[in-house]
């Protein structure tokens, strides 16, 4: 069941604990050592607010020390994200540098009412990775090729919920049933189609899809989207 | 008018996650350009991605990474942007959703269309799918009957112009039809408008059907 998921193997597996419980437990342990548990646990997302304030200082004043704090937090996590998705160590670091350069250059475009900083940086990294994959396969890409499509702002009443609920989402991720947590994690962190996930887990495609839909609905409820 | 037939939410989740194959992403993103409800789901998927990023354990960057970064940052400093981002969604001059317009920047009239059946033509689009998934356009004249699916794997079609009818349902602009592997049916192009559709086809290896015939000449390219 856990083929391809790197983290559970690296620490003890408690009976009945979900993959994300273990992942989260490890994270809490790390945070504890940094003295940050109470902050991470707070429902008001002080880390997200702090990062938004740092990014505003970068945007308004070109504040390099504020940027250094963001780099220290995000670069190592982006590296893990890109390594999990199959980049080599060197390629992942190069992409991290490109992502963080874009964060520096486009800080003024970040709108805290639309998304959490971590979501904004996630989308930059996601798009950079996709661009790099295309570049590798299509070296003769035309210089004028349009950038990947992005969508304009979500309606204001929803945007606020998306922006301020990152912390609650992180909590919700850890309480997903294990079989849902597995497919969600594979969807984000492994470059596989749903058919390939079904093959790897040796379950029917329809089961992969229904688990994804159940988990997605549950996580959307956290964001106040009951559609 | 907003679309009435939507991709299942697992497709929208994977679009936001950034792990769809290029062919699949083109079709699902095209639908989302039409559909505010599905865009909202993609926004949620991105927020989940953000939460996941924040939850990942850090991997040490190599020694001197930040110093090297500062050098690049100094070189790029004059490129910092001001003001707000111009939204990119909406439709290109060609009338295609942007997710397709960037694949066929010169429009669809210059593509090497092939006749597939009476009143039906199709063309495979030039993308480099990571997983061998095909992206095709097909166009049917008013009233033309076509075998819309061959079904070796997952498929999804999206109406770009006009409409088609299948099993008493009408699929119009922006409507997507998500087909499970193994199903097969005949569709009829709208008697007034005909239709222009885009579809991705996973595992298009069945010897029968229009799409298989469309794909056949490209094998080995």
The predicted-structure confidence for A17-50, as pLDDT tens digits, reads as follows 444 445 445 544 554 444 443 333 334 678 888 9
Chain B neighbors of A170, CB-CB under 8 A: 51, 54-55
- Which residues form the domain of A111? 45-138
Cα dist from A58 to A32, A47, A76, A78, A130, whole Å: 28, 16, 20, 19, 26
Q: Indicate whether A128 pLDDT > 70.
A: yes
Residue A207 lies in a domain: yes
Q: How many domains does chain A have?
A: 2
Q: Are residues A73 and A114 in the same domain?
A: yes
ipTM of the complex: 0.86
Shortest alpha-carbon distance between residue A182 and chain B (Å): 13
Average pLDDT rounded to a whole number, residues B148-158: 71
Give the DSSP letter of residue A144.
T
CATH number at residue A83: 1.10.1740.10
Q: What is the pLDDT of residue A157?
A: 58
Give the DSSP letter of residue A23.
H
Residue A151 lies in a domain: no
Q: What is the pLDDT of residue B162?
A: 95
Residue A5 lies in a domain: no
Question: Inter-chain contact B102–A145, Cβ cutoff 8 Å?
Answer: yes
Question: Inter-chain contact B58–A80, Cβ cutoff 8 Å?
Answer: yes
Residue A60 contacts B where some CB pair is shorter than 8 Å: no
Q: Are residues A52 and A134 in the same domain?
A: yes
Hey, which of A180-184, B74-78, B165-169 has the most confident mean pLDDT?
A: A180-184
Segment 8-37 of chain B within 8 Å of chain A by CB:
8-10, 12-14, 17-22, 24, 29, 32-33, 36-37
Contacts of residue A75, defined as CB under 8 A and 6 or more positions apart, other chains included, come to A96, A100, B61, B65, B66
Q: Are B151 and B184 in contact (CB under 8 A)?
A: yes
Q: What is the pLDDT of residue A163?
A: 65
Residue A123 lies in a domain: yes
Chain A: residue nearest B152 by CA?
A: A195
Mean pLDDT across chain B: 83
Chain A neighbors of B52, CB-CB under 8 A: 81, 122, 173, 185, 188-189
- The pLDDT tens digits of the residues spanning B19-43 come to 999 999 999 999 999 999 999 999 9
Chain B: residue nearest A126 by CA?
A: B18
User: Which residues partner with B176 through β-bridges?
Assistant: B158
Residue A172 lies in a domain: yes
Q: Are residues A64 and A122 in the same domain?
A: yes
Segment 5-24 of chain A within 8 Å of chain B by CB:
7, 23-24
pLDDT range class, residue B126, cuts 50, 70, 90: confident
Shortest alpha-carbon distance between residue B104 and chain A (Å): 11
Residue A34 contacts B where some CB pair is shorter than 8 Å: no
Average pLDDT rounded to a whole number, residues A151-168: 63
Shortest alpha-carbon distance between residue A183 and chain B (Å): 10
pLDDT range class, residue B128, cuts 50, 70, 90: confident
CATH number at residue A188: 1.10.10.10
Q: Indicate whether A12 pLDDT > 80.
A: no
Cα dist from B126 to A141, B102, B137, B195, whole Å: 12, 11, 11, 21
pTM of the model: 0.81
Is the CATH number 3.40.50.2020 carried by domain B106-218? Answer: no
Q: Are residues A132 and A203 in the same domain?
A: no
Q: Are residues A134 and A170 in the same domain?
A: no
Chain B: residue nearest A223 by CA?
A: B44
Q: Are A166 and B53 in contact (CB under 8 A)?
A: no
Q: Indicate whether A74 pLDDT > 70.
A: yes
Q: Are residues A103 and A174 in the same domain?
A: no
User: Which residues partner with B138 through β-bridges?
Assistant: B122, B197
Distance CA B197, CA B32 (A): 15
Q: Indicate whether B48 pLDDT > 80.
A: yes
Residue A152 lies in a domain: no
Question: Inter-chain contact A80–B42, Cβ cutoff 8 Å?
Answer: no
């Amino acid at each position: 069941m856990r083929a391809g998921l790197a983290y559970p193997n690296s620490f003890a597996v408690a009976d009945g604990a979900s993959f994300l419980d273990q992942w989260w437990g490890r994270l809490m342990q790390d945070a504890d050592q940094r003295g940050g548990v109470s902050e991470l646990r707070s429902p008001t997302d002080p880390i997200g607010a702090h990062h938004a304030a740092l990014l505003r200082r970068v945007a308004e004043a070109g504040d390099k020390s504020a940027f250094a704090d963001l780099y220290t937090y995000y670069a190592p996590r982006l590296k893990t994200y890109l390594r999990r998705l199959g980049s080599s160590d060197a390629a992942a670091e190069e992409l991290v540098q490109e992502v963080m350069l874009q964060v520096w250059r486009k800080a003024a475009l970040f709108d805290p009412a639309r998304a959490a900083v971590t979501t904004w940086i996630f989308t930059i990294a996601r798009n950079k990775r996709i661009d790099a994959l295309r570049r590798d396969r299509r070296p003769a890409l035309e210089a004028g090729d349009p950038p990947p499509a992005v969508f304009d702002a979500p309606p204001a009443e929803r945007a606020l919920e998306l922006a301020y609920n990152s912390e609650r989402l992180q909590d919700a991720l850890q309480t997903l049933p294990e079989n849902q947590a597995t497919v969600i994690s594979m969807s984000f962190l492994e470059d596989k189609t749903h058919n390939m996930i079904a093959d790897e887990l040796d379950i029917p495609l329809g089961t992969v899809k229904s688990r994804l839909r159940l988990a997605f609905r549950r996580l959307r409820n956290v964001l106040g989207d009951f559609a | 008018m907003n679309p009435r037939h939507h991709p299942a939410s697992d497709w929208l989740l994977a679009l936001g996650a950034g792990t769809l194959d290029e062919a699949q992403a083109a079709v699902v993103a095209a639908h989302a350009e039409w559909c505010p409800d599905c865009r909202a789901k993609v926004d949620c998927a991105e927020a989940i991605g953000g939460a996941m990023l924040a939850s990942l354990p850090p991997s040490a960057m190599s020694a001197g990474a930040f110093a090297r970064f500062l050098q690049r940052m100094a070189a790029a400093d004059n490129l910092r942007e001001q003001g707000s981002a111009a939204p990119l969604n909406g439709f290109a001059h060609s009338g295609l959703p942007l997710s397709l317009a960037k694949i066929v920047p010169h429009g669809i009239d210059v593509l090497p269309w092939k006749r597939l059946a009476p009143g039906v033509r199709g063309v495979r689009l030039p993308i480099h799918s990571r997983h061998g998934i095909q992206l095709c356009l097909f166009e049917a004249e008013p009233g033309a009957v076509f075998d819309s699916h061959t079904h070796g794997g997952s498929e999804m079609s999206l109406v770009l112009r006009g409409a088609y009818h299948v099993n008493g349902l009408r699929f119009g602009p922006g409507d997507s039809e998500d087909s499970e592997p193994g199903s097969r049916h005949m569709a009829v192009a709208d008697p007034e408008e005909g239709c222009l559709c885009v579809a991705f086809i996973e595992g298009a290896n069945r010897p029968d059907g229009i799409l298989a015939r469309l794909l056949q000449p490209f094998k080995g390219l």
